[in-house]
């Protein structure tokens, strides 16, 4: 049993490192593209917004197709396709000109990410038990976000010093390092043929609707993605700018809002490799994911609501750290919860529905955020997010007594 656990952890670590290497080029764009867009054939920033959003939108119709594809190909084959597309798209960023070609490249990356995301959910479902599900999700989530850290930190630096094209080529080379790591995937995966379960989005929707617990868990995933991947990721620099009047000045040192937002985002990616597994382990061994998810929703809800207030800056930055810590916990716990209810209700079909709701939240979060911001201001947006999280915490209350 101990040998199996060690083997499974190695499998997930390898998967997470491959995902991290593939993610670097995508993360680099969020830092470098808004600065260098005029050199790449774009006429305005709204085109940049389309490019950064289309990979999420395209995943909505792609996820069901990818789910069915995984019933016909092995995990290693799916990941290999994703790595190849990751190399190709990241390299292409350095020489593409014009919106059409960029949208095409980002659609290909959306397909690659669907392969990685659904592949990871299916992998953890297959390898985990109720005693390890949270830890495995935390391990995967914590490690693959190292790719975001490298892409955001290195992207801005390399693009500014060496140029965008060379920066893209360097990250494409980094993604290519995933190819030798792919050979570490267990050989048994390559022998898997068509699996008995043919996942279906329609079946997943029926399964989710059949149980309040299952439906609520799927909705939790969509809400978390809406707030964290959609609203927070797209508006954090704007929020920081609003509360710091554009940045901070300490003597001769000036820190712009973008730099401050990047710093706080990078802090999260730094602590994820140890905080996410710790959170998952506590959910497995002591408190249960349901109880911890409810607490994290409450903490996140209070933190997001407080971010809308004009607090003293040291206190406001402390609240922002609490919101980022809650984000780490929520992402890990809801993934573990989705795998848990999928084990009971219908495996891959339910996980396809869960992934669809998550991608919908991530895709439409920025649209909701900037729509509300234009009408009512950025502080209202974060108050709204805080209320959403608190509602989810209250809705989970009757289920908390079930423990794990």
**pTM of the predicted structure, to 2 decimals:** 0.80
Least confident of 191-195, 209-213, 227-231, 379-383: 191-195
pLDDT reported for residue 204: 64
Per-residue pLDDT tens over the stretch 225-241: 999 988 887 778 778 87
Q: Cα(365)–Cα(385) distance, rounded to whole angstroms?
A: 10
Whether 151 contacts 23, CB under 8 Å: yes
Strands (DSSP E) found in 121-256? 247-250, 253-256
Mean pLDDT of 182-193: 62
Nearest to 133 by CA among 28, 217, 41, 8: 8
Considering only CA atoms, which of 286, 290, 361, 365 is closest in space to residue 330? 290
CA gap 149, 278 in Å, rounded: 19
Element (H, E) at 340: helix 313-345
What is the CB-side half-sphere exposure of residue 128 using CA atoms within 13 A? Answer: 31
**CA pair distance 27, 151, nearest whole angstrom:** 5
Fold of 197-404: Growth Hormone; Chain: A; (1.20.1250)
pLDDT in tens, 268-307: 888 888 888 888 888 887 778 888 999 999 999 999 999 9
What residues are paired with 253 via a beta bridge?
250
Return the CATH number of the domain spanning residue range 1-183.
Answer: 1.20.1250.20
Are the C-beta atoms of 78 and 119 separated by less than 8 Å?
A: yes
Run of H or E including 70: none
d(CA 63, CA 59): 6
Ranges in the chain annotated CATH 1.20.1250.20: 1-183, 197-404
User: Measured between alpha carbons, how far is 314 from 378 in angstroms, rounded to an integer?
Assistant: 20
Q: What is the pLDDT of residues 324-360, one digit of tens each?
A: 999 999 998 998 888 887 776 556 777 888 888 888 8
Q: Is the pLDDT of residue 121 over 80?
A: yes
Q: In whole angstroms, what is the distance from residue 171 CA to residue 191 CA?
A: 32
């Amino acid at each position: 049993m101990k040998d199996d656990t060690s083997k499974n952890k190695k499998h997930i670590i390898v998967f997470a490192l491959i995902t991290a290497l593939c993610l670097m080029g995508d993360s680099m764009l969020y830092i470098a593209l808004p600065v260098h867009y005029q050199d790449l054939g774009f006429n305005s920033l709204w085109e940049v917004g389309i490019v950064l959003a289309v990979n999420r939108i395209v995943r909505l119709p792609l996820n069901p197709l990818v789910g069915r594809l995984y019933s016909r190909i092995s995990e290693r084959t799916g990941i290999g396709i994703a790595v190849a597309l990751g190399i190709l798209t990241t390299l292409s960023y350095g020489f593409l000109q014009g919106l059409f070609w960029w949208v095409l490249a980002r659609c290909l990356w959306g397909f690659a990410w669907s392969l990685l995301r659904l592949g990871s959910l299916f992998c953890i479902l297959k390898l985990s038990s109720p005693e390890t599900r949270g830890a495995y999700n935390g391990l995967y989530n914590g490690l693959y976000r190292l790719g975001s850290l490298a892409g955001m930190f290195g992207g801005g630096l390399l693009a500014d010093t060496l140029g965008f094209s060379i920066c893209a080529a360097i990250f494409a080379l980094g993604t290519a390092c995933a190819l030798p790591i792919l050979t570490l995937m267990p050989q048994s995966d390559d022998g898997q043929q068509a699996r008995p379960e043919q996942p279906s989005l329609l079946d997943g929707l029926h399964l989710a609707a059949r149980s309040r617990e299952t439906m609520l868990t799927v909705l939790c995933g969509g809400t978390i993605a809406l707030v964290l991947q959609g609203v927070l990721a797209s508006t954090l620099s704007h929020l920081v700018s609003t509360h710091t009047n554009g940045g901070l000045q300490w003597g001769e040192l000036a820190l712009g809002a973008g730099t401050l937002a990047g710093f706080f985002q990078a802090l999260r990616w730094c602590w994820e490799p140890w905080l996410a597994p710790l959170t998952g382990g506590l959910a497995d061994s002591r408190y249960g994911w349901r109880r911890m998810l409810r607490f994290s929703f409450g903490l996140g809800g209070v933190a997001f609501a407080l971010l809308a207030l004009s607090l003293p800056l040291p206190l406001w930055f402390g609240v922002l750290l609490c919101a980022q810590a809650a984000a780490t916990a929520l992402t890990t716990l809801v993934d573990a919860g989705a795998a848990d209810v999928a084990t009971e209700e219908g495996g891959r079909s339910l996980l396809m529905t869960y992934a669809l709701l998550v991608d919908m939240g991530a895709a439409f979060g920025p649209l909701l955020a900037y729509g509300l911001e234009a009408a009512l201001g950025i502080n209202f947006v974060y108050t709204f997010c805080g209320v959403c999280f608190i509602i989810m915490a209250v809705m989970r209350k009757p289920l908390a007594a079930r423990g794990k």
